[in-house]
Structures are given as C-alpha cells and as structure tokens.
A and B are shown apart, each in its own frame.
Chain A
Amino acid sequence: MRFALDDQPVDFVDGDSVAVAVVRSGQHPQHGGALCLTGDCGNCSADVDGVPFTRTCLTPARPGLRVRRHPAVGGPPLQLDAPKNPVQSPVHAGVEVHRRHVDVAVIGAGESGTAEAARLRADGREVLVLDSGNGDDVVGVYPGPLVVVRTPEHMLHVHAHEVVIATGAAEVHPVCEGNMLRGIVLAGAADLLRSKGVDLGTTVTVDIAELARFEGDDGRVSRVVFADGRTEACDTAIVASRTKAPRDLLARMVSDPNVRVVGPAAQRFDLPPAPVDGFVCPCSKITVGDLQMVWDKGFQHLELVKRAALCGTGTCQGGVCMPHLRSFVSDKQGVEAAPFTGRPASRQLTIAEAAADVFLDPFRRSALHDEHLKLGAQMDRFGGWWRPWNYGDAMREYWAVREGVSLGDVSTLGKMIVTGPDVVEALERLYPTTIADIRPGRSRYVLLLNERGHLIDDGMVCRESDDRFVLTFTSGGAAFAEAWVRDWIDTWGLDVRIMDRTISHGAINVTGPLAGALLQRVGVAEPPKFLQHRHAAVAGIDCHIMRLSFTGEASFELHHPVAHSVELWQALMEAGRDMNITPHGLQALFALRLEKGHVIVGMDTELDSTPRRLNMDWAVKMDKPDFIGRTALARTADLPDRRRLFGFTMDGPAPTEGAPIYVGDRIVGHVASTFTSPILGTAVMLGWQKHEPWADTVTIDGRPATVAHTPFYDPEGARARA
C-alpha cells in the first residue's frame, strides 16, 4: 500500500500513521526537527490531501493520500480557488457533528485518566474517556463545559456535567544546536516506531540534561555530543529525559467549576536547563538567539518575549517551546515564569470542521411568498423576511396605489393580542400616547420609546373591547417589541394576558382610491371608516379589518389566519382584475409613504431619535403620570435641541439617499430618504439637520433645497379618509 509524499511513493503497512510510514521510508515529514509522534509538537505537520498543517503522526496512512511538505521558508500556499468540496451551499459540506451528553468526560486515557475513570465508574458515574490515541483529538474545552473533539470520521460535541482533564505529561523536546536535524525522536516515538517494526539503525539515547548538541551531515543527525564532551555516532538520536512538562494546554484554556485537572497535567515540574542555542520554536523558526536579542532590548516579560520573538505563537501552541521559554525567562528574572494563557484550538481543526452542521438565522417567508414569485416579484430580505421589492416596475405599482387599487403583503408586521384586568394600565405605561380614551372599534397610531425617550418602534393600538386590544409593530421590530412588552409587563407585575400573533396572522393591505370599492365586491358592504377596525368575513375568510393609511390613500389591512393568506390574496386579485389591481412592493411603498412624510423606524430615525427630533411631539402626552421614557423626555425637554428631522423639497431628480446636506460649505446633516415625486413634480426628502441654527434653505447634491412641511402630499389627509 502506498501514498505519495511530494509526488514520490511511500510504502506503508496497516496501522501506520503517515508520519510513521514516512520515517520507515527513511525520510521526515517536514524538513527536520525532533518527532514526538503524540501530536504535541507539530514537527510532523504537512499538507495532507490539500489541507496544510495536518499532523501526520495523527493521520492514519491510507492508499492514495497526497502528502506534501510545507515549503522550507514561508507558509504553504493559500488554495484560493479550489475548495475541496465545491458545492453550491456550504451547508452539508461533508463533515457531520455527533453529539453526546454524558455525566463525566475524562480527557486522556493514560495512567491518571484511566485511574480517574475507574474511580468515577465505581461511584456509579457514567464516564466517557477521550484520547487522541483512539482518534479522539480534543480541540478545546469550552465553557459549558463543552468538549469539542475531532475524530477521523466526524466532529463530536460532548456535553458533560463534569470534565476531567488528565492529559498527563509530555516529553520535553531538545533545544540545542542541531535540533532541527532529521533523525531525532523522543523516547516515546522511538518505542512506537520500534513496535511498528521500523528500523532505527544505530541509536544513541540522551537525556537533555546531558545533551550538548547534535551534529549531522546533509541535514540528518549523525552524532550526539554530550555535555561532558563525549561524542557518539548514530543513525537515530533518541531523546529520553527525566524532565517532563505538564501537557496542560487544555487545562490552561478554561476556568469552569465543573472542569478539574488531575495527574501530571496538574503538577509542577522542574523546568529544563535554560536553553543556550538551537531552535526553541520550530513552528515559527525561532532560535534561542532571538529570545536573547529581544530580552536584551527590554522585552523582559514572558509575554513580551513571546510576542516580540513570536515564540509560542505557532501551530503547536507552545508544545515544544513552553518549558524552554519559561526556563529562559525564569533564569533571567530570577523567579519562575508562569506559562502563558492557553487558548483553543489545542489540536487544530479546519474551518470546515468548525462550520460542520452549523446553520445561520433562517429567512422567513410569508405565506404569500409563492404568489409573489408567480407575479414576477423581485424579492429582497428586510427585517428577517423575504419581501417583494418590486414586481418589475415600481412606478407602475406606485400609480396603482395613487389612482386605482393595489395589494401589499404586510404579513410581516408584528401583531399581538393583549387583554386582562390591567391591560389599559399596562398600555398607558408602554406608550406615550393616551390609551384609555380609545373607544372600542377605534385605533390609534403609537410610538414605542425606550427609557431614554428614544424611538424604538411604532405601530397601531386597536381597541376591541374594554379590556382587549390588538397591537401592531413594525416588521423589523416585531421580535424585539414582543420581548419588550412581555418584559415590562412582567416587571410591573400587571395582570395582563399576552398572545403574539405575528406568525399566526397574515395581513394584506388593500390600498388606493378604489380599495373600498374592491372590498365591497368581496363581501364587505360597508368598509370601516378611517382609524376604525372590525371583524368581518372577506371573500368568506374571517378577517380583522383595520383601516389606516401609510400610503396616503384609503387603506384596509386585512389580518387573517395565515393558512388562508393565499385564498384571500387570490380572491382579491381576482375581484380587482377589471380595476387593474396591481400589487406593490417595498420600493413603491417607501416612495408612497415618503410623500406622506411618514418615518420608517431605523431607516429615517437614529439611535437617539426623540419624538421632538422627529417632529412627533403630538404623539406624546406628557401630562400622563408615567410611561416608558417620560422621565428622560421631561429632563431633556428644556435642553437645546441640536438635531432634527426635516422635510425638504428641491427641483430636479432626487439626490442619492445619504447625500450630505450643506449650509455654505459646512455639512449640517444628511438626507435619510428621497423620492422624485411624479405627482408633486418635485423631489421630496426627509433629512437630518444640525442646529447651527436651523436653515430654511440648504444645498444638497450641489442644488438648493428648501425645508418643507410634511406631509408633502395631501396634507389634510382627505384621501386617506375618503
């Protein structure tokens, strides 16, 4: 059986790792450096099947593998255009996640781990033992605790009540002149290689305490020079030291009361002698000379040495260098230097492995999604929903609203039923508007403010009976608003029942001068008057009809059980066929509402928009005893206001949204929304202006623009009431 190393065949036998097979062939998986074969150092890492930095000692050899050494200098190339699994969607890219819930996870099947597992089992606990020797490579221990494991087949997430880290101690690598030669192995690696029948040739075994340097020919070790001056010739140098180092990267990664460290991983070991020569960090090719240089330049702190000399920032995360770096610094500063913080990932994982079985926020579709597509809609995502942006021609949709009848899918609006003995009290506190005087069957436009008096959402309050209301919120703000309402009512301890209807009800806005006539055709003999609402069957479907107006024309929102959306939509489209009924998308809606000067929260407003800054003081009743934001509004009422939203008009085409507003050569604000209004024959805008002081004429896009009262269109609102 063979695989390829730099395009040359390498034979292997069953049970070989890639690294073992490479050593068996007389080669080295990298360009040199002592091998541990336990995954601790990274001196064996190579590109395996297009994945650089794969530890070959942990990679089982398989026929046909393509292994490549990294370049001797510089990093391996970025494989920029060749994803291994070129699929359209990264979802289901091939790596699966398996999940386990266990009582205790013990990391390490060495002496301490085995003993601990036995003790726990004797106590009747359920124990899962994870060890890289069995293919379970622990990537990290995270708060939770969550143990993330890479196995040859899949990723494994282990949720445990308790995690025991028993990763033992690792052998210490030699740091001396010649330590990057090929043919140097640690004692454990030598044992493993022998057990696999690898011929190591003549060996010399040395303890780092007695080691002076390695010498070699052609990059391969041929002599070991001892501290006492002795020289011994060898084919393979075996480093067997009494000094060990705790294998504590995982232990240094997490502090969680449910994570314990046992055995050698938790112990203090004597540090090896301070290094004087050689490569201390093979991953980043850092020498003891580099450490000395930065130390001499004043980087006299373990972390500063690490960062200035880049020692310990490579693939093995300190696996090789940590004891030597600590010894170097301790020797200089005269006190023992603590190890640097451990961070995930311990054993590396690919981005694909981290991304395995991960899904981002879903996109919502209204029940009418397919209807929109059938009508040729260009869909856009807005506030977490797919919504029609236009149906091919936004201006046609605009005119349908202004002159005929149109449908808009407003299913995405936030909707909520509230009732209960304290409901009026609760709403009075939630909204700055008076609620108590809304009569059943009537509705009112409301602002939602936060404690700072800043606008966070807006909507309608529809009173159904003395103690039952239906509330609406904006599409983008619905989820936040639901939590907001529930939290406050909970906090106040008021007796109110709350049922969110956002996903349960679809809503279709029937709008335009012919909207009322259309409703009459589908069974609503007498459509409600402006700001009234009631329940009625529309085309045989139970609807809650709310009459309001965002577009500026007569508008009826039909709220209905979402399963009937398609039926209702089709019935309305059918009934309006000879009226040239045309649905409208967001693009037309944004233009229509702008002519009316209606603000869209988040689009025209800013983080700190008070009603005053939006010219919406009329929607705030400061004489109410309390509502959210009242204290802040009262406090800031007398402060000079420095920024305000104004309406502007100008000749010619509308400038780009976001255009700066100038007075002279000073920028005093920017335009929030713009539209070239065909019906008004002028560009209409909402824009922010700073008080320097308020200017009536400004310059936008190099042209004069004037402050204008909103609504720009139908200021008396006659059309909405018609």
Chain B
Amino acid sequence: MHAPERLDGLRVVATPDALDHAWFEGDVVVFRIAHDEVIAFGAVVAEVPDEHAIVERETAFVGWGLSYPEFDDLVARHVEWPLPTERPALAQGMAAGLPVKLWFEHDRVLLVVSSGFAHEVVERFRLPAFAESVKKQDTRRMRA
C-alpha cells in the first residue's frame, strides 16, 4: 500500500451549466462535489464559461490510492451507505465519522480527505501515515 499523496488542483465555483462545459488542461481528475462546485485535481489551467466563476488553487486534500481488496478490507466496512457501482464515480459522505470523498476507478479507489483529518484517517482506517514527500508544484496563473 502506498503512502498518501497531497493532491493539488483547482477548485471552481460556477453556475451548474458552466461547470458542465468547463475545460481543464492536462491529466485531470474532476470531482463534481456540488451542483455548483468542482475540484479538478491535477489542473493548473481552467476555462469556465461563467464570468463570475471563482477559480482558486486547492491544496487542502490528501489521497490514498487503494486497490479494491485494500479498500474492501479497510474502508468499505466503515461506509454505512450504498457505494456506487458505475466507474469512474465519485461518492461523498461520512465514513468512520470522517467526511470523505471516494473516487472509484476501474482498478483502484482514491480515498480523499482534507489534510486536517489525515491523522484521523490513519487512526480510524489504519492506513499508512502521510509522509512529507510532497511534490512541489509551482503556482501558475490560471485563466478564468
């Protein structure tokens, strides 16, 4: 199992319609966390067709990449609600008393929490701790 990674990206608030048509440069995973809000991990540039969109750098999250057996063993049994079956899919909710975001890919699940809770994730799910091996990412300007 791997140590968690800090996830860098952009957080965008815009009209739902604008978010449906937003474009992010590069290899990006987009979490639609609310009808009017997304977090695009890996993004540094965004185009959002809403002149009032708020586009901000987001560095507050950490993620653990888990194989399905690891996920089932350590995390799934703490989830009281039904998990999505389609892939990829985002699910958000409480697990083991923590607000988590779960990103289901074909071969792995990404468990994402805000870094302020990372220590609790380690204790509650018995996942490996956060090592300070954060890859530096420079703050480039983004287009809104």
Contact = CB atoms under 8 A, between A and B. Distances in A.
A binds B: yes
A384 B116 CA distance: 11
A98 interface: yes
Given A359-B124, A499-B11, A499-B37, A101 B82 contact: yes
Interface string A272-297: 00000000000000000000000000
B54 A563 contact: no
Contacts of B123: 91
B56 A360 contact: no
B53 A497 contact: yes
A425 interface: no
A365 B116 contact: yes
A96 B59 contact: no
Interface stretch (A331-339, A415-423, A547-555, A605-613): A415-423
Interface of A: 91-92, 96-99, 101, 157, 159, 357-367, 385, 417, 419-421, 467, 495, 497-499, 501, 503-504, 542, 561-564
B68 to A, nearest CB: 17
Given A159-B80, A358-B97, A361-B97, 18 more contacts: A91-B124, A98-B77, A99-B77, A101-B82, A357-B77, A357-B96, A359-B97, A359-B124, A360-B97, A362-B120, A363-B120, A367-B115, A503-B116, A542-B139, A561-B57, A561-B59, A561-B139, A564-B59
A417 B54 contact: yes
A281 to B, nearest CB: 37
A490 B126 CA distance: 39
A497 B77 contact: no
Contacts of B14: 497
A420 B52 contact: yes
Best-surrounded residue of B52, B77, B139 (most CB of chain A within 10 A):
B52
Interface in B62-89: 77-80, 82
A562 B115 contact: yes
A419 B52 contact: yes
Contact of A563 (B6, B11, B13, B53): B6
Given A99-B80, A362-B117, A563 B56 contact: no
13 contacts: A99-B77, A159-B82, A362-B98, A362-B120, A365-B119, A367-B115, A497-B13, A497-B14, A498-B13, A503-B116, A504-B11, A563-B115, A564-B59
Contacts of B82: 101, 159
A359 B116 CA distance: 17
Nearest to B8: A563
A261 B24 CA distance: 54
A504 B58 contact: yes
Interface in B8-34: 8, 11, 13-14
Contacts of B120: 362-363
B47 interface: no
Interface of B: 6, 8, 11, 13-14, 36-37, 50, 52-54, 56-60, 77-80, 82, 96-98, 114-117, 119-120, 123-124, 126, 134, 139
Contacts of A563: 6, 8, 59-60, 115, 134
B84 to A, nearest CB: 12
Nearest to A359: B97
Contacts of B77: 96-99, 357
Contacts of B116: 364-367, 385, 503
Q: Tell me whether chain B's interface is mostly helix, strand or loop, or mixed.
A: mixed
A113 B78 CA distance: 30
Given A362-B120, A364-B116, A501 B96 contact: no
Contacts of B115: 367, 503, 562-563
A367 B60 CA distance: 9
Given A99-B79, A360-B97, A542-B139, A504 B56 contact: yes
A497 B117 contact: no
Contact of B56 (A385, A467, A501): A501
Contact of A499 (B13, B98, B139): B13
B60 A157 contact: no
Contacts of B11: 499, 504
Contact of B60 (A91, A357, A503, A542): A503
Contact of A497 (B6, B36, B58, B96): B36
Contact of B54 (A358, A363, A499): A499
Nearest to A97: B77
A358 B58 CA distance: 31
Contacts of B36: 497
Contacts of A564: 59
A504 B117 contact: no
A159 B98 CA distance: 20
A362 to B, nearest CB: 4
Contacts of A96: 77
Contacts of B134: 563
Given A357-B77, A497-B52, A364 B59 contact: no
A375 to B, nearest CB: 18
Nearest to A365: B116
Contacts of A499: 11, 13, 37, 54, 56
Contacts of B13: 417, 497-499
B60 A497 contact: no
Contacts of A498: 13
Given A99-B77, A561-B59, A419 B119 contact: no
A360 B98 CA distance: 9
Given A96-B77, A497-B53, A562 B98 contact: no
A527 B69 CA distance: 54
A467 B52 CA distance: 9
Contacts of A363: 120
Contacts of A562: 59-60, 115
Contacts of B98: 359, 362
B116 to A, nearest CB: 4
Q: Top 6 A-B pairs ranked by shortest CB distance?
A: A359-B97, A563-B59, A362-B120, A504-B60, A364-B116, A499-B13
A97 B115 CA distance: 27
Contacts of A367: 115-116
Nearest to B120: A362
Nearest to B82: A101
A137 B124 CA distance: 27
A361 B116 CA distance: 13
Contacts of A467: 52
A563 B78 CA distance: 28
Contacts of B50: 497
Contacts of A362: 97-98, 117, 120
A542 B139 CA distance: 8
A426 to B, nearest CB: 13
A377 to B, nearest CB: 16
A157 B80 contact: yes
Contacts of A357: 77-78, 96
Contacts of A99: 77, 79-80
A497 B36 CA distance: 8
A657 to B, nearest CB: 29
Contact of A503 (B6, B97, B114): B114
